[in-house]
Structure 1
Amino acid sequence: MSTSLYNSQQDEKFLWVRLCEGDRDAFGEIYRRYFPLLFRYCIRFTTDRSLVKDMLQDFFSQLFLQRAGLATPVNLKSYLLVSARRKLFRYLEKSSRLPGSLDEGMISLFDLELSPESILIHRQHTEQANRLLQQKLNALTLRQKEAIYLRFYENLTYEEIAEIMVLKEVKYARTLIYRAIAELKELLAPNESALMVR
């Protein structure tokens, strides 16, 4: 089946149905579309790129092997992010690379960096400004960094973020992001005048 059939905006459900029926072209298209996104997300939790690649290969293999029993998700992107996140945590636990439970107090696990675009946009600022902002991002909690990443790097809705991060209510996703932004503003404010002088 030609991939040209998979170009409409409403084709995710079609792709999924075809995958569940064993269509390898549909599976290949889902893999092509979503492997890069899932890799970018999962690599934030660990520096072991080969572990993430192995996990995702296993994840997609299982997806195809278990296709007959899969229900059609409301949102394919959210479904895949939720499932890959869960599988990654199991991999990390098995390899003893997940230090304890993932809670609000953990700071160092989720890696959130300035995007290349933001570095280009702010090129007129000094390297000191970028270093400062990176330090402030690193100071956010794990949950804040993950929520910021999903909202501003992957453009997900608060509803999708709440589902992916297994939050009881959507308002918790909003709160995480608002607090993170407030903390960044508060932390950057004292340094603003020094950066402007440069």
Structure 2
Amino acid sequence: MDLLKLGDEAAYAEIYDRYWAILYRYARKILLNEDESEDVVQDIFVMLWSKSRELDIRVSLSSFLNASIRNRILKHFQRSKVRTNYLNSLQQFMEEGKCITDHLVRERELAARIEAELAYLPAKMREVFELSRKAHLSYREISEKLAISELTVKKQVSNATKTLKMRLADTFSLFFTIF
């Protein structure tokens, strides 16, 4: 370790040769994957070389490397879990999000179409209909507000509804066929 702290490559090579196989077997036994095990062991040796001058190991090198590999494996599991959760979340969003986006787009298109058709209604009929459906006023409240009879309000709302149903029939059939 003293030679390694001085940057001696031969000392590093000796440590590498002595411990690589032991650490790899340990990692392989836990990870059950050759590539991941090699990566984890390689990370340990990269860390050992890059931080060799700063390391202050107070236990045996073997104990230090075993603890390092164990911690690196735990970190690997944690990252894998986060990655898996992210991928599952992304997959779920792709499956559900597409539908949500499609529904929102179609809903906006339908609302725009309804608004366009509302614009073609006679002004008084449109006003009565919008007070009923958008402002959620009762027939009595509308009749009082516009100084017309409740029967007129009821008839205007009924006529507006029939007109809109007729004009939007093709849109509604297409809309409900899609869903």
TM range (shorter): 0.3 to 0.5
More helix by share: 2
TM, length-normalised to structure 1: 0.40
**Higher Cα Rg, which structure:** 2
Higher RCO, 1 vs 2 (CA within 8 Å, ≥6 residues apart): 1
